[in-house]
Every structure is written in C-alpha cells, then in structure tokens.
Amino acid sequence: TMRERLNKGVPRVRKLGFDIGDKVKIKEGPFIGFEGTISEIDPVHEKIIVLVNIFDRQTPVELEFDQVEKIS
C-alpha cells in the first residue's frame, strides 16, 4: 500500500485565498495596477478570471493566483 501511495503521489491541496466577487488588484503582467472583480476560479489550474474595466467595458482577464492581491 505504501508503494501505491508513493507512485500515485500526494494530491496537492492549496487553500484558496479568493472567492467569487472579491475585489483584487493586479500586481504582475500587462494589466499591472488595474483593479477588478473575480468572476471565475479554476483551482485545478490555479487560475482566476478577473473582470477589469477597460474603456468603460468589463473585460475578462485570465490570471494566475500569484498575479493578484486581494483588496481589503
């Protein structure tokens, strides 16, 4: 049983610091400094979709978890 567990590996469990509707600020990438609202979360690929206001339109931007920080 131990060998089976070692071969399968340990599943990664990461505490998400985000919820849908949270306000975040982008801290890396081409949209650095923009603020937006989380609309989708993909914990498997560690990506989120943030709606950013660009030219008075809500534009979805796909980012990784470490590219944003939550606004309190």
Q: pLDDT tens-digit profile of 3-56?
A: 776 777 655 555 567 899 999 999 999 999 999 999 999 988 889 999 999 999
How much is the pTM? Answer: 0.74
Whole-number pLDDT of residue 54:
92
Q: Do 51 and 58 form a contact (C-beta atoms < 8 A)?
A: yes
Q: For residue 53, how far is the Cα from the chain centroid?
A: 17
DSSP string, 12-71: P-------TT-EEEE-SSTTTT-EEEEEEEETTTTEEEEEEEETTEEEEEEEEGGGEEE-
